[in-house]
Chain A
Amino acid sequence: MIAELGHFALILAFTVACAQGTVPLFGAWRGHLPSIRLADTAAVLQFVLVAGAFAALMHAYVTSDFSVANVYANSHSQKPLLYKITGLWGNHEGSLLLWAFMLSLFGAMVALFGRNLPDSFRARALAVQGLVGVGFMAFMIFTSNPFLRMDPAPLEGQGLNPILQDPGLAFHPPFLYAGYVGISIAFSFAVAALIEGRVPPSWARWVRPWTLAAWAMLTIGITGGSYWAYYELGWGGFWFWDPVENASLMPWLAATALLHSAIVVEKRDTLKSWTILLAIVAFSLSLLGTFLVRSGVLTSVHAFASDPERGFFILVFLGSVTGGALTLYAIRAPALKAGGLFQTISREGALVLNNLLLATATATVLLGTLYPLILDVLTGTKVSVGPPFYNATFMPLMVPLIVALGIGPLLPWKRGDLFAVLDRLKFIALASVVAAALVLWLTMDAPLMAIVAFAFAFFLAGSVILEFVDRVRLRQLGLAGAFRRLFTLPRGAIGMSLAHFGMAVSVIGIAAATGFAQEHLGVMKAGDTLDFGGYHLTFKGVEQVPGPNYTAARGTVEVEGVGLLQPETRRFVAPPMETTESAIHSTPWGDLYVVVGDKAGEGYATRIYWKPFVIWIWAGGVIMAFGGFVSLSDRRLRVGAPIRRAAPAAAPAE
């Protein structure tokens, strides 16, 4: 019964989305006020209905209602509650419902919190948002209905893919999807602005908080996914350039570019046309990511549920969304008037460079991801594009980007003096080269790429700190004064420093973990000892341990001064498969990573890694996302929101 209600709510949401996608457009065109107003109501109603459908499916999962085919295929009564809940989006239909849920949530938030937007603009943006919703819900209702029943109902479900039975599933997909879908707001705003035919500087201020929020959540999603892959897959790697990882990286790169170009639109009233294009491209890349994951056209570790026909639907949808928006762009963009002038060497110039590099990097990733597909279609040759390709193309593009990241924020708007900035940075540049050389000297046979990456990361971190110190006037005001000044600064500036600093932290982590990792592979018998990475390890043996819905072969390794590390190989019954659970001793300066594999003769094959500074990679990601949220709390982004004439705090003083 509840599943039917959910299905019904989904169909109702679809019809509401149809109304939301058409009527307000007409109303905004003809100035018909009730039709304009409909947008807000419809957006909230659509959210309520989709949330209802989501809750209904959640109910079926939590109560293990195996008469629902989707629950049967992806759940099991023995599964811990957390994985019953998260199992909802661990499959094709459920994850689409999560997509639609996020989409309608963002729409409702625009309707509720976007009161500062002009009515007709909000109506148009919500209409575009509604049209995207129409596509997704049609996809669900006609090809991938999560509420299909089975008769007779099976007694037991098939279980969730054990690799997904991890707390990571509770965080990674929701954040990633919130990021993917959040960019839809930038898209809707861009299309609405194109329909209106003008992009005022305030447009950038409207679109920025949504993009920031989406970007920050996408950052968390990608960082979390990378960490999950690191500890779950047992390979000690953190990024595999898998097509699906690329699918999340591309919207991130485009959204990063969009964030930066929107600043130029807001402050300097220029680069409008480019910013609009970026918004369209960023959302198209999100849809492409969905297409790549869902269609199964690419071999990937994420292709856990795939169907070419569904892929075709998404491809048509992607084509109409992107094609439609780009057509509109082609018609309207020439009419967008460019505003303020600037010199090449200026903050604007640096941001343009940042955008060019990010766009080029996105293009190389896109090419690497799609090339196997194109080659297969054209020649039938099957190839895969792996890490060497990206190391040779993507990485070199990151070098000038990091330099620009260090110099750009020190340049003033309109026109800058590059030599003056370089003069300010000369000590930092020198210090970073010396520090990198010191690392080289201390570690002797270090890989050159890692040392170069260190030098650039030190330079970036140094220049961010320099800029920050100057901004809080540490040298003039002293520590206490600078601390007080910190709280009077615009949060956006603090957020920027944090995000850029996070980038430096990540680069250091990546360089250290890839350049200086140590690996030991061998058979260990109970009682064997090993000195590795500065640790003294003793292998204690392997024992069988029962888990809630699996049995584990748990190896025990005693690490002197640390304690026990207990990696497991878990053997699940439903579905019958094994997963590797690594045991990691994490410290700020490196991870000791232990995996115990199959029995080999008397002992067990073990793999032990020392990954120096690897945790910095994700710490950097978290710092970046935190920077995004700090920036999001900037007053500037809320001005124009319902202005309270008399601030409550000021009232008693009078």
Chain B
Amino acid sequence: MTPRKRRRLIIGLAGLACLGAAAALVLTSLGDQLVFFLSPTEIVTKAPPPNQRVRVGGLVEQGSVSRSADGTTVTFKITDLTTSLPVTYHGLLPALFREGQGVVAEGNRQQDGSLLAAEVLAKHDETYMPKEVVEALKASGRWKEGDPVPATAHPGTTSPGNQGTAKP
């Protein structure tokens, strides 16, 4: 074997070893480190096991936000306008968290069917609906892209259908 071939063989083997190690790491972690995105309806119908981390997107239901006495635990409901999912979160909510606005919560489904959120994300722009929220609302069939954001989504506005009846 010439030195050149020998070197090529060693580099090739080292490369394979690197790739093999990476593939092993990736495959083992893709199995259980993946976070599935589900809408509130899907959480109810599919009922993911408590050890499966999930992301839920939707709108924060009007009037559903309540804080515990010590202020560190917040409960609210995420809705896709079909199903409402109760969520419990220990921590400080992001500045953009608002009733009626898009939100994404990540955590685990509890035995009682509610979500214990480890993370709550509200997106940066007040007009921007998180893609996942849009998907969840579209999936529920209550909202199409390009429509105005549903009536429950905006505090202080009324949709044309119930004008005059709904008071903010």
The chain A residues found within 8 Å of chain B, CB to CB, are 161, 163, 234, 296, 299, 301, 303-304, 338, 341-344, 352-353, 356-357, 359-361, 363-364, 367-368, 371, 381-386, 388-389, 392-393, 396-397, 521-523, 569, 575-580, 595, 597-598, 600-601, 603-607
Pairwise interchain contact B72-A523, C-beta atoms closer than 8 A: yes
Residue of A with least CB distance to B29: A392
Residues in chain B near residue A304, CB distance under 8 A: 124-125, 128
Name the distance in Å between A631's Cβ and chain B's nearest Cβ: 26
Residue of A whose beta carbon sits closest to that of B4: A341
Q: Which of B19, B22, B123 has its CB near the most chain A CB atoms (within 10 A)?
A: B22
Secondary structure call for the B interface: mixed
Residues from chain A with a CB closer than 8 A to the CB of B69 are 601
Q: Which of A341, A344, A521 contacts B10 (CB 8 A)?
A: A344
Whether B72 pairs with A521 at a CB distance below 8 angstroms is yes
Interface centre among B3, B4, B38, B125 (most CB of A within 10 A): B125
Q: What's the Cα separation between A606 and B92 when bound, in Å?
A: 7
Minimal Cβ-Cβ distance residue in B for A274: B11
Is A360 within 8 A of B22, CB to CB?
yes
B residues near A296, Cβ cutoff 8 Å? 131
Pairs A–B under 8 Å by Cβ, sample size 20: A161-B125, A234-B95, A301-B124, A304-B124, A356-B11, A361-B22, A364-B25, A364-B26, A381-B36, A383-B35, A384-B34, A385-B34, A523-B71, A569-B95, A575-B126, A576-B126, A578-B95, A579-B95, A600-B67, A605-B72
A396 to chain B: closest residue by CB: B25
| Contact for A367 among B26, B72, B94, B135, CB less than 8 A | B26
A342 to B124, CA, bound (A): 53
Whether A597 and B128, one on each chain, are in contact in the complex, defined by CB atoms closer than 8 angstroms, is no
A521-B90 in contact (CB<8A)? yes
B residues near A344, Cβ cutoff 8 Å: 7, 10
Q: Is B18 an interface position by the 8 A CB rule?
A: yes
In this assembly, does B37 line the interface, its C-beta being within 8 Å of a C-beta of chain A? yes
Of the residues A386, A575, A577, A579, contact of B35 by C-beta under 8 Å: A386
Q: In the complex, which residue of chain A has the Cβ closest to the Cβ of B13?
A: A344
Given the known inter-chain contacts A299-B131, A384-B55, A386-B35, please indicate yes or no for A577 contacting B96, CB distance below 8 A.
yes
Residues from chain B with Cβ under 8 Å of A575 in the complex: 125-127
Give the complex CA separation of A338 and B3 in angstroms.
13
- Chain B residues with Cβ below 8 Å from A578 are 95-96
Chain A residues with CB under 8 Å of B94's CB are: 234, 580
Minimum distance in angstroms from B96 CB to a CB of chain A: 6
Judge whether B45 is part of the interface by a CB distance below 8 angstroms: no
User: Which residues of A sit under 8 angstroms from B70, Cβ to Cβ?
Assistant: 522-523
Task: Decide yes or no whether B91 CB sits under 8 A from chain A.
Answer: yes
Interface contact B26-A597, CB-CB below 8 Å: no
What residues of chain B lie closer than 8 Å to A368, measured between beta carbons?
26
Q: Which residue of B lies closest to A338 (CB)?
A: B4
Please pick, from A363, A393, A396, A522, the residue contacting B71 in the complex, using a CB distance under 8 A: A522
Q: How far is the CA of A167 from the CA of B22 in the complex (A)?
A: 39
A-chain residues with CB within 8 Å of residue B149 when the two chains form the complex: none
Q: Which of A341, A360, A580, A607 sits near B95, CB closer than 8 Å?
A: A580
**Cα(A344)–Cα(B5), bound, Å:** 12
How many Å from the CB of B116 to the closest CB on chain A? 16
Closest residue of chain B to A606 (Cβ to Cβ) is B92
Q: Give Cα A371 to B127, complex, Å.
A: 28
Q: Given the complex of chains A and B, what is the CA–CA distance between A163 and B125 in angstroms?
A: 9
Question: 12 additional contacts, CB 8 Å, given A383-B35, A607-B91?
Answer: A161-B125, A341-B3, A343-B7, A385-B30, A385-B33, A385-B34, A396-B25, A523-B71, A575-B125, A579-B95, A580-B94, A603-B71
**In the complex with contacts A356-B15, A360-B18, A393-B26, A598-B35 CB distance below 8 A:** no
A-B pairs with lowest CB-CB distance, top 5 = A600-B71, A523-B71, A382-B37, A392-B29, A578-B95
Known contacts A301-B123, A389-B29: A382-B95 contact under CB 8 Å = no
User: Judging by beta carbons under 8 Å apart, are B95 and A393 in contact?
Assistant: no
The answer to whether A384 and B35 touch (CB under 8 A), given A575-B126, A580-B95, is: yes
Interchain CA distance A360-B101 in the complex, whole Å:
40
Select the residue from A342, A569, A577 with max chain B CB neighbours within 10 A. A577
Residue ID in chain A nearest B69 by CB atoms: A601
